[in-house]
Structure 1
């Protein structure tokens, strides 16, 4: 295991802040490289 790189986490943040995520409410998005799969 390793910690996520800045650019990996930034992609998820950009998605959640953008218009494509307007339908997502009350959900947890795990950005953990598949550890919680």
Structure 2
């Protein structure tokens, strides 16, 4: 857990919120990668 910048695991509802955003609100977004990993890939 020390390697995770947020110092916690993501909750299922946080993942669902990101998926719902891409499915419904991101209507003008194309070809985006949205890592929902608490900043882990930014290290």
Q: Give TM-score, length-normalised by structure 1.
A: 0.71
List, as ranges, runs of 4+ consecutive aligned residues in structure 1 with deviation greater than 4 Å. none
After the TM superposition, which residues 1-37 of structure 1 pair with which residues of structure 2 at under 5 Å, given as runs?
1=1, 2-18=8-24, 20-37=25-42
Answer 1 or 2: higher relative contact order, Cα 8 Å, separation at least 6. 2
Unaligned runs of 5+ in 2: 2-7
Residue correspondences, number: 36
Unaligned runs of 5+ in 1: none
Kindly report the root-mean-square deviation, in angstroms, between the aligned alpha carbons of the 2 structures: 1.5
Structure exhibiting the larger radius of gyration computed from Cα positions: 2
Q: Give TM-score, length-normalised by structure 2.
A: 0.65
